Structure 1
Amino acid sequence: MNKIETRCLLCSRPLQSAISWKILLTKQFQSTICDKCSARFEHSPAATALYQYNDAMKDYLHQYKFLQDVALAKVFRQELHARFKNEKATIILIPMHPLKQKERTFSHMEELLKAADIPFTQLLEKTTTETQSSKNREQRIQVAPLFRLMTGAHVEHKEYLLFDDIKTTGTTLRHASEILLNAGARNVRCFTLING
């Protein structure tokens, strides 16, 4: 068995990874962060999220989304793959406004699922460049519709799973769910990487 040395994407400590047939033949990803960094992320007790929001997650989101460190999309790929690999519902990402995506240079949600090798589709468009993080709880709850169906999108009577990075008040997910349900979705469930 050969060992290759890589470094933790968060702290740069060396990672010793053994190449095995199990890793090569199954959908198991090489570790991208060390055990010490991994232990800083708090798993969520909620069935609708992987992790709880804490200081480690705040730092991760800042570096990934705002400092545009797209390599960090790989950090949670094993957990996301395990969660979604047998998902029967069509996975839909909460989209970014095109201007925000151009500014950021990548869609952080798309990159998370691509890194985890999870198929997804896009049926929604964001209607505003405003972010929910810039609003207080009351402003988030009273916000105008955030999404619309993409031109030519057909929402069959199927089950959909909305995926977003973080849930705080649930306004974003509620707005997206309403658009899909009003367009004919049979059922819409929600799942997030982080429960805020």
Structure 2
Amino acid sequence: MNVCLLCEEETNRSLSWRQFFLLDAPPVICAACRQPFERITGEGCRICSRTDSEFITNGVCFDCRRWEEDPVYHGVLAANRSLYLYNEAMKAFIARFKYRGDYVLARVFAEELKAAAKKIDYDVVIAVPLSEERLYERGFNQAEALAREAGLHLIDVLQRVHSEKQAKKSRAERLQAPQVFRLKEKSAVSNKKVLVIDDIYTTGSTLRQAAHLLKQMGAAQVQALTLARGQGS
């Protein structure tokens, strides 16, 4: 019997014929728990996956336009692909996964992240790192967990300096934050197309800081794949 990782009810009461003959893996959460999550579909910002159309002009949102006008960050992040909106269901999921240490929840969207990664042209994969202090608090790196459960092979080249939690910072504070990453090994990214994995894209400051450093160290291109995209930020 397969049990839903969120509500612990049975998930395999109505298997498809592909799941019945073991051609596809059975679902890890039930249909009722999956229903509130909102998959991102249709046209949005081609850089960051933002979907609220009133903030998008000619395929680019006003936030990304401002980033691209900044000489420091212009062109550092080629694109971010987010799979889901950061709605109430996703907020609750990530709070349980990220802050309550429920590592097994990294499996919930593993197949979708794996499929999305296959559509991206990259050479190496990096998970956004936590500082040692945050890693000690949480017990694991949520970005790394998502990547590993999706079957992505990670290289360990970025190190994060301890700083105040991003969730506690205002948008302006995030945008003005000093560089929080250090590169452990330059040769691993030199002339490589890098895919960076994280859980949420909010303002884009964390990913762009990582991308800026990777580009400085010789990366040919930096793209990102995130589970959720915050709106209105």
Same fold by TM (over 0.5)?
yes
Secondary structure (helix, strand or coil) at the match of 2:191 reads: coil
Aligned counterpart, 2:94: 61
Q: How high is the TM-score relative to the length of structure 2?
A: 0.75
Change (3 A) 1:62 1:184: same
User: Could you say which structure has the greater relative contact order, defined with CA pairs below 8 angstroms and 6 or more residues apart?
Assistant: 2
Aligned to 2:210, what secondary structure does the other structure show? helix
Give the counterpart letter for 2:111 in structure 1.
Q
Rounded to whole Å, the distance in 2 between the matches of 1:143 and 1:66 is 23
2:205 corresponds to: 171
Please, which of 127, 131, 134 is the counterpart of residue 165 of structure 2?
Answer: 131
Is the aligned partner of 1:103 residue 2:129? no
Q: CA deviation at 1:86?
A: 5.5
Moved more, 180-189 or 43-52: 43-52
Unaligned runs of 5+ in 1: 24-28
The structural deviation recorded for 1:21 is: 4.0
Structure-2 residue corresponding to 1:7: 3
In the alignment, the residues of structure 1 paired with residue 102 and residue 140 of structure 2 have an alpha-carbon distance, to the nearest angstrom, of 10
Give the TM-score normalised by the residue count of structure 1. 0.88
Task: Give, in whole Å, the separation in 2 of the partners of 1:162 and 1:9.
Answer: 26
2:149 paired with 1:115: yes
Give the number of equivalent residue pairs. Answer: 186
Are 1:48 and 2:49 counterparts? no
Q: In the alignment, is residue 145 of structure 1 matched against residue 179 of structure 2? A: yes
Shift of 1:87: 4.2
Q: CA deviation at 1:54?
A: 0.6
CA offsets 1:62-88 (integer angstroms, 9 cap, x no match): 111111111111100110111124544
Shift of 1:102: 1.6
Other-structure match for 1:84: 117
Separation in 1, partners of 2:20, 2:107: 18
- Native 8 Å contact 2:197 2:226 kept in 1: yes
Q: CA offset at residue 13 of structure 1?
A: 1.8
- Counterpart Cα distance in 2 of 1:129 and 1:191: 23
**SS of the residue 2:222 aligns to:** strand
| Distance in 1 between residues matched to 2:20 and 2:147, nearest whole Å | 24
Deviations along 1:71-116, one digit per CA (max 9) or x if unpaired, are: 1111001101111245441111111111211221111111112212
CA distance in 2, matches of 1:21, 1:167: 34
Of the three residues 27, 36, 42, the one matched with 1:31 is 27
Q: Which stretches of structure 1, 4 residues or more, deviate above 6 A after TM superposition?
A: none
| Corresponding residue for residue 20 of structure 1 | 21
Residue matched to 1:26 = none
Mapped partners of 2:22, 2:89: distance in 1: 33
User: Which secondary structure state, in structure 2, belongs to the residue aligned with residue 50 of structure 1?
Assistant: strand
Q: CA deviation at 1:19?
A: 4.7
120 and 70 in structure 1: CA distance in 2 versus 1, 3 angstrom threshold: same
Q: Which has the higher strand share?
A: 1
1-structure distance, mates of 2:4, 2:28:
6
Kindly report which structure 2 residues correspond to 1:176-187, keeping only aligned pairs within 5 A, or say none. Answer: 176-187=210-221
